[in-house]
Amino acid sequence: MDSALAGLYRDFDRHHLLPLWTQREDLMPHAPRPAAVPHLWRWSELYPLAERAGALVPVGRGGERRAVAIANPGLPGLPYATSTLWAAVQYLGPKEVAPDHRHSQNAFRFVLEGEGVWTVVNGDPVAMRRGDLLLTPGWAWHGHHNTLDAPMAWLDGLDIPLASQLDATFFEFGPDEVTDRSTPRHSRGERLWGHPGLVPVAAPADGPEAAPSSPLAAYRWEHTDAALRAQLELEAEGHDGTLEHGHAAVRFTHPGTGGDALPTLRTEMHRLRAGVTTTARRETGSSVWQVFDGSGTISLDGRVRQVSRGDLFAVPPWCTVAIAAHDTLDLFRFSDAPVFERLGFARSETVEMTEAEATDVVEAFDAAEAIEATGTSGTADAVGGAR
């Protein structure tokens, strides 16, 4: 480098400037190069750690929630599942109360197992039961209380990393106790909005006065299960309705607008028939999946793992994902798709798996069948060089 050019770069540094010609490949790569990596967390390891935290860490002011966040290895030091999504296992002990607060981030709770906790959202008590999706829109007051002598754990999902990157974070403490200790089977929001195809005329369902988040605080498992079952039944009868062969899927939506239930998070439930493998796909956004029931095999950028009930896995942008069901496999999924769609950055494509990748999936599937047939224990974590 000649002295004149070196001097120019020194002056750039002195004035806090950077030339595009030295940065273009990092700023505008040919395809997404996320720092987050595909990763799997096993429920068999997560839940015992949450239990230990329950015995050692109190719930109260300061920390506010006994929530253990999954931390992507590609984002060291950050409690983020991906660069835009936050996911955690929250554990509430017998008779415990998580005090009221509110924050600008949108949140939900998905219940893998258990019951007995009510989340109180803007003064409306909402029962939490297995398979239910519960919403906490941004800036809604919320606290939780456990009415039983047994603990309960669930999945929390929030847009914390996105809000942090946008410097759009606000937080406010509320009362130390939840504002309503009643335990109704159905919340007021469900009683008003939870009727198929019907919206209250008295409440604005769309237009500028409509809330961006769904006014329906709970999406019950019995309705989700029935919708998934109906799709597969219709397919068996020769009718359309499934996402692809043997793959039923539903999206949780705002009953007034038909849009996503939360403005920054897409929430879905998927069901695969036994023996079905999904088409391999990749997309610009990221997602987190949790196995609700059943077992199967996942391929993330060619790395193959077996999964079973409760397991969580993160899919960063442009990561190719395919899922094979060993038995009937139910999976909950949330993603940042609404943000990418509104910004015009959404892009997805199907991907042809290589012969080696397809072989890895088949071998992992066969290994799972062999384990079940012989009654031996073990996992196929090492199949296909998975990490």
Cβ within 8 Å of residue 264, ≥6 positions away: 106, 159, 162, 336, 338, 339
Task: Indicate the length of the chain as a whole number.
Answer: 387
Cβ within 8 Å of residue 199, ≥6 positions away: 193, 205, 255, 256
Task: List Cα–Cα distances, 226 to 148, 203, 230, 248, 275, in angstroms.
Answer: 28, 28, 6, 11, 21
What CATH topology corresponds to 33-192+211-385? Answer: Jelly Rolls (2.60.120)
- Per-residue pLDDT tens digits for 142-163: 999 999 999 999 999 999 999 9
- Per-residue pLDDT tens digits for 174-196: 998 898 999 999 999 999 999 99
**Measured distance CA(32)–CA(84) in Å, rounded:** 14
Whole-structure pTM value: 0.91
**Measured distance CA(126)–CA(187) in Å, rounded:** 5
DSSP one-letter code for 336: S
Instruction: Break the chain into its structural domains and give their ranges.
Output: 33-192+211-385
CA angle in degrees (0–180, nearest 5) for 233-234-240: 145
> In what side-by-side order are the strands of the sheet with 67-69?
67-69, 86-92, 152-158, 107-110, 133-136, 218-219
**Measured distance CA(260)–CA(66) in Å, rounded:** 28
Secondary structure class of 161 (helix, strand, coil) = helix
Structure-model confidence comparison of residues 28 and 354, the more confident one: 28
Lowest mean pLDDT among 2-16, 186-200, 255-269, 371-385: 371-385
**Measured distance CA(168)–CA(162) in Å, rounded:** 9
* 102 CB-side CA count, 13 A: 12
- Per-residue pLDDT tens digits for 293-351: 999 999 999 999 999 999 999 999 999 999 999 999 999 999 999 999 999 999 999 99
DSSP one-letter code for 296: E
Mean residue pLDDT across the chain = 91
Structure confidence at residue 378 (pLDDT): 43
**Measured distance CA(266)–CA(348) in Å, rounded:** 15
Nearest to 100 by CA among 174, 186, 26: 174
Structure confidence at residue 381 (pLDDT): 41
**Measured distance CA(173)–CA(176) in Å, rounded:** 8
Lowest mean pLDDT among 76-85, 279-288, 361-370: 361-370
Structure-model confidence comparison of residues 97 and 209, the more confident one: 97
